[in-house]
Structure 1
Amino acid sequence: MTNLSVNINKVATIRNARGGNNPDVVKVAQDCESFGAQGITVHPRPDERHIRYSDVYALKPLIKTEFNIEGYPAEKFVDLVLKVKPTQVTLVPDAPDAITSNTGWNVKDHFEQLTELVDTFTSHGIRTSIFVGTDLENIELAAKTGTDRIELYTEPYASLYLKDREAAIAPFLTAAQLAKNLGLGINAGHDLSLENLAFFYQTIPWIEEVSIGHALICDALYYGLEKTITLYKECLQNK
């Protein structure tokens, strides 16, 4: 079964636009769980322009499903993760001023850093995932860091999907097959949507988790949050 982890960063963006606590990020996370989401993802950035560090601390004791914290492993981020001890930490190579994550790690260039981080988080009982593209050497090196999982950066798939979905999925299928053979768990995320998620899942059904935020929150404006989560979960079912 592939779990749906809802990234609630966009909910925090709306809250922060006006100040106050509306919408309530913690309440939305709890509602996502009650509506069927199997995980909650947050991506705190240094400027706290959406999820705040205080949100992460507030969420931890209340999340009943899996809690995934993703981000660039600066010292402040690493300290947060070690204090909160989420189910999973996803290491992402985004710059502090990045609008959104837009590339995977060059594992060869950061192998020592990533290996040390994996060792640190593993020693604290935290599952690790490294955000990567479909480069096969990168995935082989990621496995050598000792990470539990990789997360495939799926924006290239989403961009090509409408033009040629078979071509779009091909490198991801090859990458996922290699990762599976190496004993890695596989997550996926970025620009997955109701439009393209079902085909991705049908082609790579051993994906363990998809993390979806922007598209899901946009869809919720039209369908409502409960119905939207149901629709996304339906994309992750064998038909």
Structure 2
Amino acid sequence: MTERTVLVVDDEFAIRDMLRMALEIVDFKCLEADNILDAHAIVVDQRPDIILLDWMLPGGSGLELLRRLKREEATRELPVIMLTAKTAEDNVIQGLDVGADDYITKPFAPRELIARIRALLRRSSSAENTDRMQVSLLVLDGKSRRVYLDEAPLDMGPTEFNLLQFFMSHPERAYTRNQLLDQVWGANVYVEERTVDVHIRRLRKALQTSDMDYSGLIQTVRGTGYRFSSRGAPTG
């Protein structure tokens, strides 16, 4: 199995050292940075498989680096887990809205974090699925992990892609948030239910262009959760 590389971005040496030891014990390669400039240089030069990104950093916040990574084509789909002491809901949602795939609040257990890393890497490497699915003008290509609307590629993060892939594989059925967490995030990974709502909102936004709005494919089912329905596709 190819060694996977994790970039730890945190200004506290003790945390980086603890994470490096925990990651190397389970055969991850660990890269380290204590500021966003060095972190971005490492991302460009060494292409890690996933980033553990602290919120508060010298010379700029982790959120600034996250925004930059999501703007750039080469790093847009790079999985990111935010490490934060901020527990207020607005801060968590802000990080997820910018493009983080998951978050974990300090202090945390290294075993839980490693479980989340593995789950996120499994989701991000699911490109083996070569299914091509289509609803009206919306096409999902599992092999290239791209989504097209009227042949134009949509800008969509890896978690939104996985959600859409699951929904299109299981149309017209309502799923609770917990069921979606189990199916898309993994049954052995603890993620709060509100995380689903954030990614659903991002998926709906990704399904909207200046010319077409396919966000209606993702329907809210009151008292239950969400479902994917081809009846939500625009007509005419």
TM-score relative to the length of structure 1: 0.30
Q: Whose RCO is larger (CA < 8 A, sep 6+)?
A: 1
Higher strand proportion (structure 1 or 2): 2
Bigger Rg, which one: 2
